[in-house]
Structure 1
Amino acid sequence: MDRIELTSDLSLSRIVYGMWRVGDDADTSAAHVQAKIEACLAQGITTLDQADIYGGYTAEAILGEAFKASPSLRDKVEIVTKCGIVAPAGRHSSARVKHYDTSAEHINASIEASLRDMATDHIDLLLIHRPDPMMDPDETGAALDELVASGKVLSVGVSNFRPWDFSLLQTHMESELVTNQIELSLGETSAFTNGDLAYLQERNLAVMAWSPLGGGSLMTADGALADAMTKIAAAQGVDSAAVAVAWLLRHPAKILPVLGTNNLKRIAAISQASQVVMDRQMWFELYTLAKGHEVP
């Protein structure tokens, strides 16, 4: 599998395994989680996407148990995790309201919890999960810089930031923000035209795509788009999910789709997307059907 270099010290697998639903599985044992990771590694998928809030602040610890059971596994993967969302659940059950917190105190506490829960001494890539309308860019930027300097975090980025949010934080930092993880799929195409993707391409920054299957809706929908995906999938011997992911892979921005499933059979098929042949007209056929009208 191809890899995308974010810095001279960090590269990610082109497809990322998303672990936001790992806590929803009926089997959260270390052995079962290890089986999922091994299925990814067999395809060259080495990057795991986490967040402190996933599973009501339980997903990181579930992954950590797998690392404890098989310590060598940690050295085979890159961990991406996020912080900044405080919801009334788990260790934040006393919160009165769901909110964002990008203060230095919260970021540092979150990282210590993530390191402990995932049984690791460093995080490969830390993302601020959502733009915080109360963010103090000087404080947040300095906190991220200090984490990089300490070695607890190798690189930093953001998630769901608009270009102006990205610029605001970056101008108050020494370290480079290396990615923005945004929603991108045939079900959510706005980033292709609203400037979000162009901003990242202009700066040669990695683009991570969450919910590349539209939260599963692309696999259950009826209509012309679903029919076209099914036809392409049948012609190339893959499933429709592979076609939806291949549509993102085909883009010159070198998008990194973040795919999450608890089904071992589906995990083993994730790399099918890299086998799909998609020319420009096929890309636009799907784009046109997703938009519901032809391009101007």
Structure 2
Amino acid sequence: MQRVHLEENLSFSRIIHGLWRLADWNQSSQETLSLIEHNLDRGITTFDHADIYGSYLCEELFGQALALKPSLRDQMEIVTKCGIVLESPNRPSHTSHHYNTSKEHIIASTEQSLKSLGTDYIDALLIHRPDPFMDPEQVAEAFSTLHQDGKVRHFGVSNFKHHQFTMLQSYVDQPLITNQIELSAYNLENFEDGTLNLCQEKRIKPMAWSPLAGGSVFTSSDEKATRLRQTIEKVASEIGAEGIDQVLYAWLLNHPADIMPIVGSGKTDRIDSAIDALSLSLTRDQWFEILTSSMGYDIP
């Protein structure tokens, strides 16, 4: 498995396992442990969480599985996110859907994540969404406290645009080590608006959520999806891919920004398919053929 170096003492597996649907997989703790072990055996050591996933249940489910074999903690990197507040029966004090990046909330959320995951530290804590009511000084204070206490080793953001990233970085002492953003051949927004360019400018490595566009390329009958699916099927046959999912992963993996796709499946064959995409190479012609197919028009 390829490794991506984010800091001198931090690297992630090139493929990351996303746990946002863990509560939907209806697995026992032993089954989840087996899935974790499969990932580790295949070289996937980085696991992506957020406090809100599964209506605040997924971190706890993962922690229950990890408690069956605590020694695995030293073999993995745990990423989690905070800052979104959801109404949930599991959080009766929450009365509305909003963002909260106050110092108090960031620290309390992290403390709860540590408890739920059954770990003493988080490898990387991300602010989940840009908060229009953010006080960056409070975020900086929360980061410093958590870092000094040894509870979080590194920090980053998710879904931040250029100006939001640079604003927050100007306040915090620690380098923001990643930006987790939506990237796929179907959704080009972060390719087109400079968000991915910022990652390259700052030499940070982006995590890509929804690299398969939520399945749109597989199932949608709209003109864009149909056109892109036909192109990807053509490229799949040219490069010997086993399916269009591998081409979608390869399209991101071949980009020079060291994009790290998040695979959000509980099925080992889907995870293995993403791993196998690491061996697929696209020519520049093929990469641009997919790009222009998604755009629906030729490049200037």
TM-score, structure 1 length as denominator? Answer: 0.96
CA deviations 1:78-114 (Å, max 9, x no partner) are: 1010001100014433322200000111111101100
Percent identity, aligned pairs only, is 45
Which AA in structure 2 matches 1:25? W
**Contact 2:80–2:126 (Cα < 8 Å) also in 1:** yes
Number of matched residues?
295
Correspondence for 1:98: 97
**Contact 1:36–1:267 (Cα < 8 Å) also in 2:** no
Correspondence for 1:286: 290
Which AA in structure 2 matches 1:277? S
Structure 2 counterpart of 1:239, from 234, 243, 262: 243
Confirm or deny that 1:264 pairs with 2:268. yes
Correspondence for 1:23: 23
**Contact 1:142–1:172 (Cα < 8 Å) also in 2:** no
Counterparts of 1:16 and 1:91, CA distance in 2: 27
**Contact 1:288–1:295 (Cα < 8 Å) also in 2:** yes
**Contact 1:39–1:268 (Cα < 8 Å) also in 2:** no
Correspondence for 1:228: 231
**Contact 1:86–1:92 (Cα < 8 Å) also in 2:** no
Which AA in structure 1 matches 2:71? S
1:72-91 mapped onto 2 (5 Å cutoff): 72-91=71-90
Residue 211 of structure 1: how far off its partner (Å): 0.5
Which AA in structure 1 matches 2:243? D
Which AA in structure 2 matches 1:228? T
Counterparts of 1:147 and 1:216, CA distance in 2: 37
Counterparts of 1:246 and 1:44, CA distance in 2: 17
Unmatched runs of 5 consecutive residues or more in structure 2: none
Counterparts of 2:237 and 2:115, CA distance in 1: 45
Structure 1 counterpart of 2:279, from 250, 261, 275: 275
Counterparts of 2:4 and 2:171, CA distance in 1: 26
Residue 116 of structure 1: how far off its partner (Å): 0.5
**Contact 2:236–2:247 (Cα < 8 Å) also in 1:** yes
Residue 200 of structure 1: how far off its partner (Å): 1.3
**Contact 1:16–1:258 (Cα < 8 Å) also in 2:** yes
Residue 219 of structure 1: how far off its partner (Å): 2.3
Counterparts of 1:224 and 1:10, CA distance in 2: 40
Counterparts of 1:37 and 1:294, CA distance in 2: 43
**Contact 1:58–1:90 (Cα < 8 Å) also in 2:** no
Counterparts of 1:269 and 1:198, CA distance in 2: 28
Residue 231 of structure 1: how far off its partner (Å): 2.9
Counterparts of 1:34 and 1:250, CA distance in 2: 31
Correspondence for 2:10: 10
Which AA in structure 2 matches 1:290? S
Correspondence for 1:164: 163
Correspondence for 1:117: 116
RMSD: 1.3
Which range moved further: 109-118 or 32-41? 32-41
Counterparts of 1:154 and 1:2, CA distance in 2: 22
Structure 2 counterpart of 1:295, from 282, 285, 299: 299
Residue 282 of structure 1: how far off its partner (Å): 0.4
Counterparts of 1:11 and 1:293, CA distance in 2: 38
Counterparts of 1:112 and 1:91, CA distance in 2: 16
TM-score, structure 2 length as denominator? Answer: 0.95
Correspondence for 1:248: 252
